[in-house]
């Protein structure tokens, strides 16, 4: 990692100790990594509230590129000298850059220097694994996709870990990540215990016995690596990389019509929900929140809809079957959206490739499911990322989630003791 102030080369992981103190929960960044010694190297970190102040400043610059020190102080209600000190510290770390001067105020005086996040500080890899293939993206600290890669993935549980590590290694080499790599996020369909890093069950990958992803994959990488359910990854993507507003309560519906490779599993269509409450991805009491099966299904089974397997397998050629799936999904979602009072719904995945207007169907069902005269105001939109939504969200999870976990009780005091 290059020091963008003096041009010298410094390992990015030597900065991580201070960065761990810098962040606060649910800011839209994750600058993860581990020092081999577990201790911070370099200049001493600020004590007391200064790390939190620096985090607020970083978050403000991330969300408002081109903001000045004066405007930061005004926006956050901070003393100008405090802002100057913390901004200089962030610049020394290479996290923030000074750009061209802005316009002078109406009273004249010195023109303010604009600040932006240093997009080149590091890169994050996000990968989605599904039956027969994987989709990967490489993003920078601004959330911009620098590159993407797709390939075959046909390994079962036995070769899963080595296959994943091989794919990660190939992506690193192709995009020249090297020492700039900050972390790897992985999204997969099925039951995932993201806190413990375990895959409990996954139909798309053929996993019917638990796999310790943290031990077999994450522990073998030099950077933070985490796994999450695919629909939850999509929700993380919207939370982490949204500059314009702070999202609080929304639903992400991941609807994937997997091509012939998966016609034998669940009829080829998979649906999962990413639920966000109070600005946090909600995983539920057992980590299974968002798993979907239509209330119109009779009896046990692995099909998610009341239609038969043959009907589900021909959605791209049978307009009637496609319409029935769209209406059934909309009726299920309408009950959930109205009950939870979500104000936004994202729809992602490759469902857009089929000839169906799912947002329109959902709007109609929302109105039918609402018993009051006042209209139900819900913003329904397709995700702009299409079939990259899971991979992008997996990167967003690393961007945001891993650093916030370092602020769990006990982590701060331990770091202060190490710094002392």
| pLDDT, greater one: 412 or 252 | 252
Whether residue 205 is predicted with pLDDT greater than 70 in this model: the reply is: yes
Whether residue 32 is predicted with pLDDT greater than 50 in this model: the reply is: no
pLDDT at residue 410, as a whole number: 23
| pLDDT, greater one: 44 or 267 | 267
pLDDT band at 244 (very low <50, low <70, confident <90, very high): confident
| 181-188 and 123-130 beta bridge pairing | parallel
pLDDT at residue 297, as a whole number: 93
Decide: 389 and 383 in contact? Cβ < 8 Å: yes
The winner for highest mean pLDDT among 22-26, 33-37, 128-132 is 128-132
Please give the order of strands across the beta sheet that includes 198-201.
Answer: 191-193, 198-201, 211-212
pLDDT at residue 112, as a whole number: 77
- Which residue segments constitute the domains of the chain, with CATH numbers given? 12-118 (1.10.10.10), 121-233+394-403 (3.30.420.40), 240-390 (3.30.420.40)
Question: In this structure, what is the dihedral angle of CA atoms 326, 328, 332, 338, given to the nearest 10 degrees?
Answer: 60
Q: Find tokens 């522990």 and name the residue.
A: 219
Residue-wise pLDDT for 305-340, tens only, equals 999 988 988 888 899 999 999 999 999 999 999 999
Rounded CA gap, 179 and 395, in Å? Answer: 17
pLDDT at residue 346, as a whole number: 96
Decide: 148 and 136 in contact? Cβ < 8 Å: yes
Average pLDDT over residues 168-175: 95
| 67-68 and 96-101 beta bridge pairing | unpaired
| pLDDT, greater one: 376 or 138 | 138
Rounded CA gap, 396 and 194, in Å? Answer: 14
Whether residue 253 is predicted with pLDDT greater than 80 in this model: the reply is: yes
Cα within 13 Å of Cα(95), Cβ side: 25
pLDDT band at 263 (very low <50, low <70, confident <90, very high): very low
| pLDDT, greater one: 55 or 267 | 55
Cross-strand pairs, 225: 184
Whether residue 248 is predicted with pLDDT greater than 70 in this model: the reply is: yes
Average pLDDT, the chain: 80
Q: Find tokens 């202060």 and name the residue.
A: 416
pLDDT at residue 17, as a whole number: 46
* Length in residues, the chain: 420
Average pLDDT over residues 5-32: 42
- Positive or negative, the Cα torsion across 373, 378, 382, 387? negative
Give the whole-number percent of the chain exceeding pLDDT 90: 48
Decide: 167 and 120 in contact? Cβ < 8 Å: no
Decide: 329 and 271 in contact? Cβ < 8 Å: yes
Rounded CA gap, 54 and 83, in Å? Answer: 8
- For residue 128 the two structure tokens come to 């989605």
Looking at 69-73, 171-175, 301-305, which range is the least confident one?
Answer: 301-305
Whether residue 154 is predicted with pLDDT greater than 90 in this model: the reply is: no
Whether residue 402 is predicted with pLDDT greater than 60 in this model: the reply is: no
Looking at 2-6, 151-155, 190-194, 222-226, which range is the least confident one?
Answer: 2-6
* 327: alpha, beta or left? (left if phi > 0; alpha if psi -120 to 50): alpha
Decide: 297 and 306 in contact? Cβ < 8 Å: yes
| pLDDT, greater one: 166 or 21 | 166
| pLDDT, greater one: 63 or 218 | 218
User: Which CA distances in Å does 318 have to 256, 310, 313, 356, 418?
Assistant: 17, 11, 9, 12, 64
- For residue 296 the two structure tokens come to 């119109």
pLDDT band at 360 (very low <50, low <70, confident <90, very high): very high
Cα within 13 Å of Cα(341), Cβ side: 2
pLDDT band at 267 (very low <50, low <70, confident <90, very high): low
Number of helices (H) and strands (E), helices first, in the chain? 12, 16
Q: How many other CB atoms are there within 10 angstroms of residue 171's CB atom?
A: 23
Residue-wise pLDDT for 93-133, tens only, equals 888 899 876 565 556 567 779 999 888 888 999 999 987 88
Rounded CA gap, 171 and 169, in Å? Answer: 5
Cα within 13 Å of Cα(135), Cβ side: 20
Cross-strand pairs, 402: none
Question: In this structure, what is the dihedral angle of CA atoms 389, 315, 331, 376, given to the nearest 10 degrees?
Answer: 50
Residue in 390, 402, 190, 191 with CA at minimum distance from that of residue 286: 191
pLDDT at residue 314, as a whole number: 87
Beta carbons within 8 Å of 102's beta carbon, 6+ residues apart: 66, 68, 111, 112, 113, 114
pTM: 0.80
Looking at 29-43, 257-271, 390-404, which range is the least confident one?
Answer: 29-43
Residue in 253, 232, 230 with CA at minimum distance from that of residue 366: 253
Rounded CA gap, 230 and 241, in Å? Answer: 17
Whether residue 186 is predicted with pLDDT greater than 50 in this model: the reply is: yes
pLDDT band at 213 (very low <50, low <70, confident <90, very high): very high
Decide: 42 and 63 in contact? Cβ < 8 Å: no
């Amino acid at each position: 990692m290059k020091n963008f102030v003096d041009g010298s080369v410094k390992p990015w992981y030597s900065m991580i100790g201070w960065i761990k103190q810098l962040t606060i929960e649910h800011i839209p960044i994750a600058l993860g990594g581990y020092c081999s010694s577990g201790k911070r190297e370099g200049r001493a970190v600020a004590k007391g509230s200064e790390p939190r102040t620096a985090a607020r400043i970083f978050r403000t610059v991330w969300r408002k590129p081109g903001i000045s020190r004066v405007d930061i102080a005004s926006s956050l209600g901070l003393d100008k000298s405090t802002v100057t000190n913390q901004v200089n510290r962030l610049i020394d770390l290479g996290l923030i850059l000074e750009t061209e001067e802005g316009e002078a105020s109406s009273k004249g005086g010195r023109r303010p220097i604009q600040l932006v996040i240093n997009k080149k500080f590091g890169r994050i890899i996000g990968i989605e694994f599904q039956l027969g293939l994987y989709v990967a993206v490489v993003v920078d600290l601004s959330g911009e996709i620098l590159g993407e890669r797709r390939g075959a993935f046909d390994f079962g549980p036995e070769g899963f870990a080595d296959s994943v590590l091989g794919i990660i290694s190939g992506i690193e080499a192709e995009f020249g990540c090297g020492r700039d790599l900050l972390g790897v996020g992985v999204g997969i369909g099925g039951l995932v215990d993201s806190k413990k890093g375990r895959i409990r069950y996954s139909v798309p990958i053929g996993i019917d016995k638990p796999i310790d992803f943290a031990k077999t994959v994450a522990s073998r990488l030099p950077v933070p690596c985490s796994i999450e359910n695919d629909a939850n990854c999509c929700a993380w993507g919207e939370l982490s990389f949204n500059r314009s507003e702070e999202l609080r309560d929304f639903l992400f519906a991941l609807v994937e019509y997997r091509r012939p490779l998966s016609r034998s599993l669940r009829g080829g269509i998979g649906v999962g929900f990413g639920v966000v409450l109070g600005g946090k991805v909600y995983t539920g009491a057992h980590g299974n929140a968002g798993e979907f099966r239509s209330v119109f299904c009779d009896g046990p089974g692995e099909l998610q809809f009341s239609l038969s397997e043959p009907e589900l397998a021909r959605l791209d050629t049978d307009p009637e079957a496609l319409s029935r799936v769209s209406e059934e999904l909309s009726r299920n979602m309408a009950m959930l959206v109205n009950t939870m009072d979500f104000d936004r719904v994202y729809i992602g995945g490759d469902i857009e490739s089929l000839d169906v207007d799912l947002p329109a169907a959902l709007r109609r069902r929302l109105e039918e499911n609402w018993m009051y005269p006042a209209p139900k105001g819900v913003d329904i939109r397709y995700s702009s990322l299409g079939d990259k939504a899971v991979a992008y969200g997996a990167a967003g999870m690393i961007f945001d989630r891993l650093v916030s976990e370092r602020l769990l009780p006990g982590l701060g005091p331990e770091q202060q003791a190490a710094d002392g």
